[in-house]
């Protein structure tokens, strides 16, 4: 038996599982980066509440806005086409646009509420 061939066959990768585990690693990396950012924004809120610093208040507000826009950027990747079956394309377009604007506003409010809630909980956990 050739040792080089044996060594090459000793560890083999399964192609289908690589993609799945890469997806898991990518999601985990994204999630923990996002969590770290929420903790950072919560820490800023905690420090401005404890110190009363106006600079930390505005830095916290800016960081909260940036993390909110980051979350919203993931929500703006789909277009709901509920009325694609209509023969009148102009009416279908405006109905779809109305539905998508309503969904965007709802997502905006939910993400804003969720980000604010998470940051507030993190900052109060420090007390």
Answer yes or no: is 5 within a domain. no
Answer yes or no: is 18 within a domain. no
Answer yes or no: is 71 within a domain. yes
Answer yes or no: is 14 within a domain. no
pLDDT of residue 58: 93
pLDDT of residue 1: 62
What range does the domain containing 118 cover?
23-125
Answer yes or no: is 13 within a domain. no
- Name the domain count of the chain: 1
The pair of structure tokens assigned to 61 is: 């507000």
Answer yes or no: is 46 within a domain. yes
Task: Report which of 112, 123, 113 is spatially closest to residue 68, judged by C-alpha positions.
Answer: 112
User: What's phi and psi for 100, nearest 5 deg?
Assistant: -70, -35
Answer yes or no: is 4 within a domain. no
Of the segments 6-15, 40-49, 52-61, which one has the largest average pLDDT value?
52-61
Question: What sections of the chain are H helices per DSSP?
Answer: 3-10, 15-51, 54-75, 89-125
pLDDT tens digits, 77-112: 777 888 888 899 999 999 988 998 898 888 888 877
pLDDT tens digits, 47-86: 888 898 999 999 988 998 888 888 777 766 777 888 888 8
């Amino acid at each position: 038996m050739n040792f080089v061939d044996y060594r090459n066959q000793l560890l083999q990768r399964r192609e289908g599982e690589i993609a799945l585990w890469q997806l898991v690693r990518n999601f985990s990396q994204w999630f923990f980066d996002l969590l770290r950012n929420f903790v950072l924004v919560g820490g800023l809120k905690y420090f401005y509440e404890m110190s009363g610093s106006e600079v930390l208040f505005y830095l916290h507000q800016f960081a909260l806005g940036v993390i909110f826009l980051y979350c919203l950027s993931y929500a703006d990747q789909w277009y709901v086409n509920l009325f694609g079956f209509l023969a009148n394309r102009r009416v279908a377009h405006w109905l779809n646009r109305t539905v998508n604007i309503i969904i965007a506003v709802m997502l905006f409010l939910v993400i804003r509420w969720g980000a604010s809630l998470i940051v507030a909980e993190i900052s109060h956990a420090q007390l």
